[in-house]
Amino acid sequence: MSNKPFSFDLEAPDFIPSHYDNHIQRNLSNMAGQYQDQEAYEAMVSDEDTLLYQVYELKRPELAGEILHGVSIVHPGKVGNEYFMTKGHYHTVLETAEIYYTLKGQGYMVMETPEGDWAVEELSAGSVLYVPPRWAHRSINIGSEEDLVMFFAYPGDAGHNYATIETQGFRKLVLEIDGQTKIVDNPRWSQPEGI
């Protein structure tokens, strides 16, 4: 991999990087057990394996001094009354942070720590979110028609730990109830052990 400086463009309306090395696509079938309404999930996935979100990554060596970065795009939609969202993860190296800059759309970042603290921050075009070390994070698109598009950057050695979230989800769910977006307790959640 070259160690020369480089640049690329992020342009409206799509904000797909003009250069990228990796394109990840996650569909409904990649989210088994993540949505609260299992019946709605099964019905949707057997009908069509809808694309939920995409990530465009610029590859860099996975070293502490590097900054991994790219663009994530969460499409609009719901499973039952729960919005389309990313899987969400802790960083394997817990003491690593992340920055998100929202380019387009409306959403929430749901976050929590192994100690049980939680936070939900709004995401809208032009807002910058700092996710401190130790905070697991999941992005959620609450828009009815628009993509939620964000530029992200995090330390090269961070890694991804999906297992804890896959087991029980996040402490808070973001649902649409009577046409309103609500943050509610996740009944499946309990304090994680041994992260």
Binding footprint of ligand S6P on the chain (CB under 6 A): 55, 72, 86-89, 98, 137, 139, 152, 154, 160
Binding site for Zn ion (CB under 5 A): 98
Q: Which of 141/178 has CB closer to ligand S6P?
A: 141
Tokens of 166: 């896959």
Closest C-alpha to 110, from 88, 84, 83, 82: 88
Q: Which of 134/171 has CB closer to Zn ion?
A: 134
- Distance in Å, CB of 89 to ligand S6P, minimum: 5
Q: Which of 160/182 has CB closer to ligand S6P?
A: 160
- Distance in Å, CB of 76 to Zn ion, minimum: 22
- Distance in Å, CB of 86 to ligand S6P, minimum: 4
In the chain the beta strands, taken as DSSP E runs, fall at 22-27, 51-58, 67-74, 78-79, 82-83, 98-104, 106-112, 118-124, 128-131, 136-141, 148-155, 172-177, 180-185
Residues 185 and 126: their CA atoms lie apart, in Å, by: 29
Q: Which of 83/154 has CB closer to ligand S6P?
A: 154
Q: Which of 82/98 has CB closer to Zn ion?
A: 98
- Which among Zn ion, ligand S6P, none contacts residue 82 (Cβ within 5 to 8 A by kind)? none
- Which among ligand S6P, Zn ion, none contacts residue 164 (Cβ within 5 to 8 A by kind)? none
Task: Label residue 9 exposed, middle or buried (CB < 10 Å: 0-12, 13-18, 19+).
Answer: exposed
| The Cα angle at residue 122 between residues 110 and 153, in degrees rounded to 5 | 70
- Distance in Å, CB of 121 to ligand S6P, minimum: 14
